[in-house]
Structure 1
Amino acid sequence: MPDLKETAPVEETPGAIPQAGLLGRWIDRTGLVFAAGIVVSMLVLLNEVLLRYIFNAPTIWAHETTIFLCGIAFIYGGLYCAARDRHIRVVLIYDALPRSVRRAFDIVISIICALSSAIFAWAAWLMVERAAFRPDGSFRLERSGSAWDPVFPGLVKVFLLCVLAVMAVQFLILAYNYARGRK
């Protein structure tokens, strides 16, 4: 069993990786807004519990608001992980490769991810067309259909489109900076 003092500490980067560029730094800073949204959703649910079980006065907006806040935080999380290079990667082979081959893998992986993100953005656009525009072309966001009836479903679809488009750009920036050898 290895001694804990002999193992090297895992080096954590505080924020976006340098290859993510200015966009990555902006994505990293903006992540705090969505983290705060998770806290706000917890407060909304706490409020709902108090109102429902102590004052017998439930709200009609708490659950949909919580789902919306957590949903957009989850969507943004993918972009946030891309900027910080914390996305899921099978490292069994990757870590055994020499640095130059890893760099080539980083370039190829970033290009594939950019293409995938762009294709998913196109698919999201098809959803947004139905969720944000009437057949006559006028703008009207899809609503939930509940008693409160917020526009959250339409907003989530528009937000998903925006995040996927930015993610495609972020992966292109990563591929470019990996190809340049930027550290």
Structure 2
Amino acid sequence: MTQTPSRNWAKRALRLVDRLASTITAVSAFLLLAMTLIITYEVGSRYFFGRPTIWAWDVNVQLMMALIMLGIGDVYRRGQHIRVDVFTAALSPRKRAFLDLMIAPLILFVAVLIIWTGWNYFHRSFVRDQHASTLFAPPLWPVKFLIPVCGALLSLQVLTKAASDLHTALKGTPE
């Protein structure tokens, strides 16, 4: 059976979003490694040489925020977010997909709210050239920029999961 061009386009779009999510997951893993190395360096500097850094705390806080924000879409994509499994575990894949479709607009609303408020939060920080109130004082707008970006990534994940759930709800089998 041949697929229509619109169906092929949709599958390519879904694969592209999945590749983007996988890339972001790899970036998150790199950020976690960077945090580990920075903490190790800070501990060595502080306790072995008596020379603590002025930058390790600030950099790690920003890396942690990036790690959290970048992980939101991937957690949703993998279905590892908090939910009441006791209710959904007994459902068939078709009924679970239908339930997920009913909840998707609410999650999409939250994602759009994250984009909207995150953009305002970032923009205010950027215009004011806001810096952390520490000795190192890094700019705060780069990490705040990740809020609307990751809200957009969450939106993409919600839409791609909804497309997959729609297929499952209509056909009875996961795509």
Q: How many Å separate the matches in 1 of 2:136 and 2:85?
A: 47
Compared CA separation, residues 21 and 87, structure 1 to 2 (3 A): farther
Which amino acid letter does the alignment assign opposite residue 163 of structure 1?
C
Which residue does the alignment assign to 1:145?
Answer: 133
Q: Is 2:52 aligned against 1:35? A: no
Q: Does the 8 Å CA contact 1:28/1:84 hold for their aligned counterparts?
A: no
Q: How many Å separate the matches in 2 of 1:40 and 1:86?
A: 24
Aligned to 2:110, what secondary structure does the other structure show? helix
Which residue does the alignment assign to 1:50?
Answer: 44
Aligned to 1:169, what secondary structure does the other structure show? helix
Q: 1:155 aligns with which of 134, 138, 142?
A: 142
Question: RMSD across aligned C-alpha pairs, in angstroms?
Answer: 1.9
Which amino acid letter does the alignment assign opposite residue 20 of structure 2?
W
Q: How many Å separate the matches in 1 of 2:54 and 2:120?
A: 30
Q: Is 2:107 aligned against 1:107? A: no
1:10-68 per-residue CA deviation (whole Å, 9 max, x = no partner) reads xxxxxxxxx96421232123212211211211111111121122222221101111111
Displacement after TM superposition at 1:74 (Å): 1.4
Q: Does the 8 Å CA contact 1:121/1:161 hold for their aligned counterparts?
A: yes
Q: How many Å separate the matches in 1 of 2:99 and 2:92?
A: 11
Q: 2:162 aligns with which of 160, 170, 175?
A: 175
Q: Does the 8 Å CA contact 2:114/2:147 hold for their aligned counterparts?
A: no
Q: Does the 8 Å CA contact 1:111/1:175 hold for their aligned counterparts?
A: no
Which amino acid letter does the alignment assign opposite residue 33 of structure 2?
V
Which residue does the alignment assign to 1:5?
Answer: none
Displacement after TM superposition at 1:150 (Å): 0.8
Aligned to 2:115, what secondary structure does the other structure show? helix
Relative to the length of structure 1, the TM-score reads 0.78
Structure 1: runs of 5 or more not aligned: 1-18, 135-139
Which residue does the alignment assign to 1:8?
Answer: none
Which residue does the alignment assign to 1:125?
Answer: 119
Aligned to 2:134, what secondary structure does the other structure show? coil
1:117-172 per-residue CA deviation (whole Å, 9 max, x = no partner) reads 111211112211211124xxxxx4x2113221111x21121111100112112201
Compared CA separation, residues 73 and 169, structure 1 to 2 (3 A): same
**Structure 1: 4+ residue segments shifted above 6 A:** none
Which amino acid letter does the alignment assign opposite residue 144 of structure 1?
A
Displacement after TM superposition at 1:105 (Å): 0.6
Q: Does the 8 Å CA contact 1:28/1:83 hold for their aligned counterparts?
A: no
